Amino acid sequence: MAYAQLNSIESSLEDIVSADAIAVGFIKSEDSTYELVGKIEAIAAIEKFFDIDLIDEITFFQPSGKAGEILEIPISQKATKADRIFIIGLGDQSTQSHRLAAANLGRKLRGKNIVVSTLLATDSQDIRAHAISVVLGAYTWTLKSDSKPDQPTFNVVGKSEKVIDDAKIISHSVCRARDLIHTPSNFKNPLWMANQAQKIAKEGKLSIKVLAGKDLAKFGGLRAVGKSSPKPGPRFIQITYSPKVSGKRVPHVVLVGKGITFDTGGVSLKRPYDFMTAMKGDMAGASAVLNVVGVLPQLKPRVKVTALLMCAENALSGTSQRPSDVITHYGGTTVEVLNTDAEGRLVLADGLAYADAKLDPDYLLDIATLTGSATLGLGRQYGAMYTRDSKLAEQLIAAGESSGDRLWHMPLVDDYQDSLESDIADLNHTADKGDYSAGSVTAALFLEKFTGKRKWVHLDVAGSARSENDSGESPKGGNGFGVRLLIDWIMSL
Ligand code: BES
Ligand code: MN
Ligand code: ZN
């Protein structure tokens, strides 16, 4: 799909008015008067040039001033292209308000071939948030036969070329993650995921390894889930970014993503069936880690990053695994499978154990649309984060705030450990023993068993990685949660 474009332009009047439209910000102050905010001098020049008083215009409409409210004012065309000004509410002027304002502007212009000069943000943090969010708001995915590839271009005013270059890389990486998630599962199977990964690895000259068939002998979880759909069968995909730094050892981050290309639940079939329609997005974790590692050659952090994509389809067929099967994970842990719909933790367990045994990570992080319980606890605005390392938790929370993919630190409650006992295997994977009603927590406790002594973080993004409707920066459906977050975190290491 086509993505919205970003440019950095000078704040000269000539450059600004050569676009099709201009976007400026306003707030409603405590005494209920209105104020223009952002690139004030440039806005004053625009008012003079078009002979218009924007405060008069705003006051006429009496808007609430909340972030993302948009007024569209026609302007008398001079010898320039610009024929309208978007005046956009900036709420409390926080970075989050900048995101909402930008996303709504992007959404308003979605699918339109239009160039807009934007003057909403001034400091570089807000310019970055603004630029990323206009692109995310404009995002669209469609297979409509009459669709055109048009998308807007945003000329962000201010001397901020580096900021805009990074914003372009990051926002387009989120868009690519979204494209994979939105792709229906009749196109998207584990082999297709491997092909996408090959393409991205080639672009960034990253090393990539794909395991299938007999080479997956030790990956008992991935095989048990993936054998339900034997053609083309599960794939383990490993992609590595190694920075070129001489001498000094750089930290190694391993990112493990859940890549279930469709989750029917398997023999423990999902009911009612409309719960299934969202499950083409059950590979959102894998999509996130793939698109993060994919842009690191451009962003050049001094960190080695390995992405592991655990790809399988959880189908219902004659070769599906059964509730009561016992499987052997990478590294030898045996697990009694009680509910075939708890397949995510089975594929992740292999990835985590492999990373611990083979890759010597300094940080081991997994991201997965893992449990409905995460959504019950936090809704859609926060991802659930589990880790015993409080410093790491702080780092990631900070990356969540700076990026817009926000996280909440959840507890790994040891009182619930006994729920993972099994009479016949090392573990049962659904925390069936005991009735703790803490599905997201017990899933995290299960995963922890496979992480050795590593510094480990688990992100349950079942709630935050999709949206029920077009709102904020999210389109309806998968939103690429985690891409911005992990990029910001890696760049901060
Ligand atoms: N992929 C689902 C979790 C999910 C649910 C993601 C809704 C996004 C939206 C996962 O594989 C699953 O089915 N989890 C079960 C676990 C249970 C069987 C222990 C769940 O959450 O109900
Ligand atoms: Mn499931
Ligand atoms: Zn699933």
Distance 300 CA to ligand 3 centre (A): 33
Distance 369 CA to ligand 1 centre (A): 7
What distance in Å separates the CA atoms of residue 307 and residue 235, rounded to the nearest whole number? 13
**Which residue type is seen at 286?**
A
Pocket test for ligand 1, best of 371, 373, 447, 458 (most atoms within 8 A of CB): 371
The answer to whether the beta carbons of residues 366 and 460 sit under 8 Å apart is no
- pLDDT reported for residue 246: 82
Tell how far CA 389 is from the center of its chain. Answer: 23
Q: What is the fold, at CATH topology level, of the domain defined by 174-492?
A: Aminopeptidase (3.40.630)
Is 484 part of the annotated catalytic residue set? no
Ligand 1 atom 13, closest CA: 341
What distance in Å separates the CA atoms of residue 416 and residue 89, rounded to the nearest whole number? 47
Phi, psi of 426 (to 5 degrees): -65, -35
Index of the ligand 1 atom closest to the CA of residue 275:
7
Phi, psi of 84 (to 5 degrees): -155, 155
CATH 3.40.1010.10 applies to domain 5-159: no
Sign of CA dihedral 186, 189, 191, 194: positive
What residues flank ligand 1, with Cβ below 6 Å? 263, 278, 282, 339, 341-344, 369-373, 430, 439, 462
What distance in Å separates the CA atoms of residue 98 and residue 25, rounded to the nearest whole number? 9
Which of 270, 304, 449, 466 is flagged as catalytic? 270
Domain with CATH 3.40.630.10 in the chain: 174-492
Is the whole model's pTM more than 0.95, yes or no? yes
What distance in Å separates the CA atoms of residue 170 and residue 58, rounded to the nearest whole number? 34
Mean pLDDT of the chain: 96
Distance 43 CA to ligand 3 centre (A): 50
Q: Count CB neighbours of 213 within 10 A.
A: 12
Distance 493 CA to ligand 2 centre (A): 33
Which of the four pLDDT bands, split at 50, 70 and 90, describes residue 433? confident
Beta strands in 360-475 (DSSP E): 363-368, 383-386, 407-410, 427-428, 456-460, 466-467
Is 345 part of the annotated catalytic residue set? yes
Q: Tens digits of per-residue pLDDT, 246-266?
A: 888 999 999 999 999 999 999
Starting from the CA of residue 261, give the closest ligand. 3
Q: Which secondary-structure segment (H or E) carries 166?
A: helix 161-182
Which of 39, 345, 406, 484 is flagged as catalytic? 345
The answer to whether the beta carbons of residues 292 and 204 sit under 8 Å apart is no
What distance in Å separates the CA atoms of residue 162 and residue 450, rounded to the nearest whole number? 40
Which distant-in-sequence residues (6+ apart) come within 8 Å of 192 by Cβ?
183, 261
Domain with CATH 3.40.220.10 in the chain: 5-159
Q: Tens digits of per-residue pLDDT, 167-211?
A: 999 999 999 999 999 999 999 999 999 999 999 999 999 999 999
- pLDDT reported for residue 323: 98
Determine the average pLDDT of the residues in 19-40.
95
* Residue keyed to tokens 């891409």: 483
Ligand 1 atom 22, closest CA: 372
